[in-house]
């Protein structure tokens, strides 16, 4: 594995590349052209400039998160083929710049959904949290309005104000889309992009739906082991892979994370590691990475990744807001740095136990 951290670009991120460089063991960043709308082409010169900027800070781009897929592609509207053409060209431009891993998601309308961005934990840190009761009691535009004030002045992926201004139209687009249609549109998209992925050896890593169930009545298709395998089989190419996100798949306590990992050797191209603390099956908060602070056994998760020979980029996913930091919720420096150090420690201990036969 390669330890990385997500970085949104110097214009958008409160965290600086030089700070990331000082986190022990981090050699790469996961980044993106944050100003690109889903469906828009990523020009090679802009990718190149980003790559240079990261190289000057002594690191490299270990992968992209995300080249977003437009709602036209997800719904299958008349614009879909044009957007897919742009997506293929963007992948080609990334391949020419020697970038070989792309994360994306196929969630309708929203990316992840949380109901609070700054729930206070007993230690005084603040974290993202979710409670089903809050989702059931609110409509999507009101929810955006209610969490906007907690974004610390940043633009959060999937919750961009210009998208949220059209939230009603977006919902309208999906009114006839059920899980099967969404799945067929995903397969259509993947089949169209596989040739360019093969040509440039680009590993596509779909991000699971977060939370791993339907929200606001929208269909969700990447929520369980069974559904992931259905997708892997529908386009049975090693370039069609998964971002193993513990905090997303793990929202459903029925998902056995180490078992899911062990069932997918060669198909996990990227790993997001974070822990959740459950107060009830439908109320959880994003705790520190340490196993004892949350519900997941992080040792078993990292061990499963180690055992399947996972060699892609890994990153601490969201972190808590600690030590007075003001940053994009989930994406401060301090707690993600602690998470990276912890995952590195688990990995080293597992590796030494294996290779020294302890
Ligand atoms: C990320 C997602 O912050 C997060 O939870 O893991 O936003 C992820 O980047 C997207 O779903 C991938 O397209
Ligand atoms: Mn994730």
The larger pLDDT score, comparing residue 150 to residue 125, is at 125
* Mean pLDDT, rounded, of the chain: 95
CB 67 within 8 A of CB 274: no
Query: Of 233, 140, 217, which Cα lies nearest the Cα of 183?
Result: 233
pLDDT band at 320 (very low <50, low <70, confident <90, very high): very high
CA distance 157 to 19: 22
Q: Is 66 in the pocket of ligand 1 (CB under 6 A)?
A: yes
Cβ partners under 8 Å of residue 90, min gap 6: 41, 42, 67
What local confidence, expressed as pLDDT, does residue 167 receive?
A: 83
What percent of the chain clears pLDDT 90, i.e. is strictly above it?
85
CB 279 within 8 A of CB 232: no
Q: Which atom of ligand 1 is nearest to the CA of 107?
A: 11
Q: Which atom of ligand 1 is nearest to the CA of 66?
A: 13
Mean pLDDT on 151-169: 81
Given a cut of 90, whether residue 156 has pLDDT beyond it is no
Annotated active-site positions, please? 207, 245, 272, 317-318, 331
Q: Is 119 in the pocket of ligand 1 (CB under 6 A)?
A: no
Query: Closest Cα to atom 5, ligand 1: which residue?
Result: 112
Query: Closest Cα to atom 13, ligand 1: which residue?
Result: 104
What local confidence, expressed as pLDDT, does residue 302 receive?
A: 98
Given a cut of 70, whether residue 358 has pLDDT beyond it is no
In the three-class reduction of DSSP (H, G, I as helix; E, B as strand; rest coil), residue 207 is classed as strand
Q: Which ligand places an atom closest to the C-alpha of 273?
A: 2
What local confidence, expressed as pLDDT, does residue 95 receive?
A: 98
Mean pLDDT on 328-346: 97
Given a cut of 80, whether residue 147 has pLDDT beyond it is no
Query: Closest Cα to atom 8, ligand 1: which residue?
Result: 207
Q: Each residue of 226-268: pLDDT tens digit?
A: 999 999 999 999 999 999 999 999 999 999 999 999 999 999 9
Structural domains in the chain? 2-355 (3.20.20.150)
Q: Is 274 in the pocket of ligand 1 (CB under 6 A)?
A: no
How buried is 180 (Cβ within 10 angstroms: 0-12 exposed, 13-18 middle, 19+ buried)?
A: exposed
User: Best substitution site from 36, 70, 103 to test ligand 1's pocket, by max atoms within 8 Å of Cβ?
Assistant: 103
Q: How far is CA 54 from CA 7, 33, 68, 108, in A?
A: 10, 13, 21, 32
pLDDT band at 339 (very low <50, low <70, confident <90, very high): very high
CA distance 247 to 259: 15
Q: Is 246 in the pocket of ligand 1 (CB under 6 A)?
A: no
Going from the Cα of 245 to the center of ligand 2, the distance in angstroms, rounded, reads: 5
């Amino acid at each position: 594995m390669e330890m990385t951290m997500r970085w949104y670009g110097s214009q958008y991120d409160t965290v600086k590349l030089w700070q990331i460089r000082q986190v022990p063991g981090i050699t790469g960043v996961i980044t993106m052209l944050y100003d690109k709308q889903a469906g828009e082409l990523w020009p090679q010169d802009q990718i190149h400039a980003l790559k240079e900027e990261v190289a000057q800070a002594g690191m490299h781009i270990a992968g992209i998160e995300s080249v977003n897929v437009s709602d036209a592609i997800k719904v299958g509207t008349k614009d879909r083929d044009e957007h897919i053409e742009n997506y293929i060209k963007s992948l080609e431009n990334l391949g020419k710049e020697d970038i070989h891993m792309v994360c994306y998601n196929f969630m309708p309308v929203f990316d992840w959904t949380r109901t609070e961005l700054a729930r206070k934990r007993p230690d005084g840190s603040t974290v993202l949290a979710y409670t089903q009761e809050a989702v059931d009691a609110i409509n999507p535009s009101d929810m955006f309005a209610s969490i906007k004030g907690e974004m610390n002045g940043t633009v959060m992926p999937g919750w961009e104000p210009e998208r949220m201004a059209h939230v009603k139209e977006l919902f309208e687009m999906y009114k006839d889309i059920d899980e099967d249609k969404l799945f067929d549109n995903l397969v259509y998209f993947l089949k169209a992009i596989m040739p360019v992925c093969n040509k440039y050896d680009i590993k596509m890593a779909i991000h699971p739906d977060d939370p791993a169930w339907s929200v606001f009545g929208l269909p969700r298709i990447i929520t369980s082991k069974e559904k992931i395998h259905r997708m892997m089989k529908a386009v049975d190419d090693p370039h069609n892979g998964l971002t193993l996100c513990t905090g997303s798949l793990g929202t459903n306590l029925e998902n056995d994370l180490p078992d899911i990992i062990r069932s997918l050797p060669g198909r996990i191209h990227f790993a997001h590691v974070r822990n959740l603390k459950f107060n009830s099956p439908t109320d959880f908060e994003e705790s520190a990475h340490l196993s004892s602070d949350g519900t997941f056994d992080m040792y078993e998760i990292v061990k499963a990744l180690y055992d399947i020979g996972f060699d892609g980029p890994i990153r601490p996913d969201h972190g808590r807001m600690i030590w007075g930091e003001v940053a994009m919720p989930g994406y401060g420096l301090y707690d993600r740095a602690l998470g990276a150090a912890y995952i590195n420690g688990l990995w080293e201990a597992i590796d030494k136990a294996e290779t020294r036969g302890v």
